[in-house]
Amino acid sequence: MQSSTQSLDTQCRSDFPVLKRRVRDDKALVYLDNAATTQKPIQVIDAITNYYKNHNSNIHRAVHALAEESTEAFEATRSKIAKFLNIAHSEEIIFVRGTTEAINLIAYAWGRDNVQKGDIIVTTEYEHHSNIVPWQVLTQETGAELRYVDIDDNGELMLEQLDEHLATGKVKLVAVSHVSNVLGTITDIQKVIKKCKDAGAKILIDGAQAVPHMKVDIGNLGCDFYAFSAHKMLGPTGVGVLWARKELLENMKPFQCGGDMIREVHKQETTWNDLPYKFEAGTPNVADVICFAAAIDYLTEIGMDNVRNHEIELTKYALEKMSKVKGLVIYGPNDTKKQGGVISFNFKDVHPHDVATIIDKNGVAIRSGHHCAQVLMEKLDVAATNRASFYIYNTKEEVNTLIDSLEQVAKVFKL
């Protein structure tokens, strides 16, 4: 990374090898699909190579040198995450495959023992499928009820509906995303948590689109469960984090059983290992957990406030320019104070895949589809949307290329 008087993208862009790619007809790659996954800096790529070249070993089991080094590096990532998110007890951090697995872990290991017929679980209209379907399955199995908090015309949660649900006194869990992956809406999470606490309901936060983009202080939030994925924050695929309060984890049964998560195994009974190992059965994704530390170091060096400010600047610039493109409709808050670096939009009468195909020819990568949020698509009354999402390395010039491409779409379809 270079000096900090320059804009963030200039400082860090050269650390990302893939951004030098040319695609299609020798066009510079403009990568605007960061909500799906981010690119990786050379520091992260080097870390994984270094691990396999010099340290590779299983962890927690052997006393030889490599095993000790690997175990130490693996646990160092856990400590780094604790510091990054202000988590006092690092044993509350469970390594999983990603946000999806973290939420499913709660639905199984906590849900099956704590949710019964007559109980209510609340989720929202702007959740990713991974924060809806596990609750559908759980409520169907247990005879509990699944309720939704709807969104208003600005793509914000109608929290008075949460009040109504909580007032029944039957809500066991509220599952809500910190930032919507489609609309970019930032949930007023403090308010939601307070309401849940006051009503005695547990609260799970899907932070997949929050932790990568803003400062998150889990230690002071007061929620019960928090989940996110490494691959959306410069890290490798296949690593995610579930954070949960210790008392909850201690009272939960394991999610999977096998090696590492046991203390003693006899023919007919087994005692569980301490936290966090009780929830980390089998050989974990050692290499990727270890190289995730390099991603956290990278973001720490930049500073999460700078990440957020850079995204605000790009989003503001893009929103303003997009509002002038003929026939283009923007969904969501359309206000950078209330939204992350995500913009969902459509052209009247033009299918999002046609939009994505036309602009892909200019090297611009955006996402078109339902974004694993079909409940939200139904609400917006569309089959799909286009989504541009920004990260630290994106530039205003890239936004300009996006806008030029969108103007081409308007022209091709004679809007």
Partner 1 sequence: MSGDPIYTEMIIEYSRNPSNFGKIENPQIHRHDSNPLCGDSIDLYVNIDDSKITEVKFDGKGCAICMACTSVLTEMIQGKNLDDVKNFQKDELLAELGLEHLIKTSPVRIKCALLSLKALKYGIYSYFAEKMNDVEAAGNLKEEAASLY
Ligand X SMILES: Cc1ncc(COP(=O)(O)O)c(C=O)c1O
**Active site residue ranges:** 372
Residue 354 contacts which entry, ligand X, partner 1, none (Cβ below 5-8 A, type-dependent): partner 1
Of 114 and 374, nearer to partner 1 (C-beta) is 374
Q: How far is the CB of 94 from partner 1 (least distance, A)?
A: 32
User: Restricting to residues 132-151, which ones interact with ligand X according to CB under 6 A?
Assistant: none
Of 182 and 319, nearer to partner 1 (C-beta) is 182
Distance in angstroms (rounded) separating the CA atoms of residues 99 and 97? 7
Of 253 and 411, nearer to partner 1 (C-beta) is 411
Q: Does 177 bind ligand X (CB under 6 A)?
A: yes
Residue with tokens 């007032």: 167
For β-strands 22-23 and 27-28, DSSP reports them as antiparallel
> Do 119 and 142 contact (CB within 8 A), yes or no?
yes
Q: Does 213 bind ligand X (CB under 6 A)?
A: no
Distance in angstroms (rounded) separating the CA atoms of residues 149 and 135? 14
Residue with tokens 């793509």: 155
Q: Does 128 bind ligand X (CB under 6 A)?
A: yes
Q: How far is the CB of 411 from partner 1 (least distance, A)?
A: 6
Q: How far is the CB of 95 from ligand X (least distance, A)?
A: 13
> Do 342 and 208 contact (CB within 8 A), yes or no?
no
Distance in angstroms (rounded) separating the CA atoms of residues 322 and 399? 10
Paired with 280 in beta bridges are none
Q: How far lies 47's CA from each of 18, 88, 294, 341, in Å?
A: 16, 26, 7, 28
User: Restricting to residues 183-212, which ones interact with ligand X according to CB under 6 A?
Assistant: 206, 208-209
User: Restricting to residues 319-378, which ones interact with partner 1 according to CB under 8 A?
Assistant: 349-351, 353-354, 357-358, 369-370
Q: Site for partner 1 (CB under 8 A): how many residues?
A: 16
Q: Does 123 bind ligand X (CB under 6 A)?
A: no
Q: Does 368 bind ligand X (CB under 6 A)?
A: no
Instruction: Determine phi and psi for 355, rounding to 5 degrees.
Output: -60, -50
Q: How far is the CB of 384 from partner 1 (least distance, A)?
A: 5
Q: How far is the CB of 242 from ligand X (least distance, A)?
A: 11
With vertex at residue 66, the alpha carbon angle to CA 62 and CA 71, rounded to the nearest 5 degrees, is: 65
User: Restricting to residues 48-107, which ones interact with ligand X according to CB under 6 A?
Assistant: 98-100
Give me the 210-229 binding string for partner 1, x by CB under 8 A, dash otherwise.
--------------------
| Window contacting ligand X (CB under 6 A); options: 69-77, 123-131, 322-330, 355-363 | 123-131
Residue 143 contacts by C-beta under 8 Å, 6 or more apart in sequence? Answer: 116, 117, 118
Q: How far lies 128's CA from each of 105, 329, 360, 395, in Å?
A: 16, 22, 25, 28
Residue 76 contacts which entry, ligand X, partner 1, none (Cβ below 5-8 A, type-dependent): none
Q: How far is the CB of 82 from ligand X (least distance, A)?
A: 20
Q: How far lies 126's CA from each of 148, 304, 379, in Å?
A: 9, 24, 9
Interface ranges with ligand X (CB under 6 A):
35, 98-100, 128, 130-131, 177, 181, 206, 208-209, 229, 240, 372
